[in-house]
């Protein structure tokens, strides 16, 4: 099957279904604040934000190949540290745009975004939409893992200073 050629956002040749930790950021379209608002350094979830929280909280009950080590829901985006735990005997060489690899970061994000969008459509929030892509970073060592985890833990507290927080 032929695929369109366009800019690659994932690390070329890297198998995103292999065991490891990944820092993922998923943003709503046009940074619309569908998930709630931050008041007095606390997030107050909208109904969509509550559903996202519920969805993230019970991932381990539905998915066996990964867990979410740390996460935060912001008014217009999510930050996640996802750890893939499945052991693979074979390494999949990715050479370009290709179908979703099962049990991969892309597959997980695709299913998460789709599940939330379907819920929104069914519950009167049809205007909800995601940004087309997501940001990922392969976490390389324990120090980087700890720094990213601290960033996630402090994200709500630092909301007022965030350059992307457009009032």
Q: Is residue 104 part of a domain?
A: yes
Q: What is the pTM of this model?
A: 0.83
Q: Is residue 6 part of a domain?
A: no
Q: Is residue 7 part of a domain?
A: no
Which CATH number do you get for residue 78? 3.30.70.1290
Token pair recorded at residue 20: 């490891």
Q: Is residue 135 part of a domain?
A: yes
Count how many domains the chain has: 1
Strands of the chain, DSSP E: 20-27, 36-39, 42-45, 66-73, 77-84, 135-139
Tell me the pLDDT tens digit for each residue of 26-76: 999 999 999 999 999 999 999 999 999 999 999 888 888 899 999 999 999
Q: The domain containing residue 104 runs over which residues?
A: 20-161
Q: Is residue 64 part of a domain?
A: yes
pLDDT band at 143 (very low <50, low <70, confident <90, very high): very high
Nearest to 47 by CA among 36, 59, 38: 36
Q: Is residue 166 part of a domain?
A: no
């Amino acid at each position: 099957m032929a695929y369109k050629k366009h800019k690659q956002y994932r690390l070329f040749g890297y198998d995103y279904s292999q065991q490891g930790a990944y820092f993922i950021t998923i943003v709503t379209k046009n940074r619309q604040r569908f998930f709630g608002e931050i008041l007095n350094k606390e997030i107050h979830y909208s109904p969509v934000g509550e559903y996202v929280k519920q969805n993230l909280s019970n991932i381990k009950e539905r998915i066996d190949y990964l867990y979410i080590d740390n996460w935060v829901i912001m008014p217009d985006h999510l930050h996640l540290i996802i750890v893939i735990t499945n052991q693979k005997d074979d390494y999949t060489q990715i050479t370009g745009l290709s179908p979703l690899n099962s049990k991969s970061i892309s597959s997980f994000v695709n299913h998460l975004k789709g599940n939330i969008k379907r819920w929104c459509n069914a519950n009167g929030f049809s205007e909800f939409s995601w940004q087309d892509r997501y940001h990922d970073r392969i976490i390389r060592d324990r120090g980087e893992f700890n720094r990213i985890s601290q960033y996630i833990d402090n994200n709500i507290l630092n909301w007022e200073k965030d350059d992307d927080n457009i009032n």
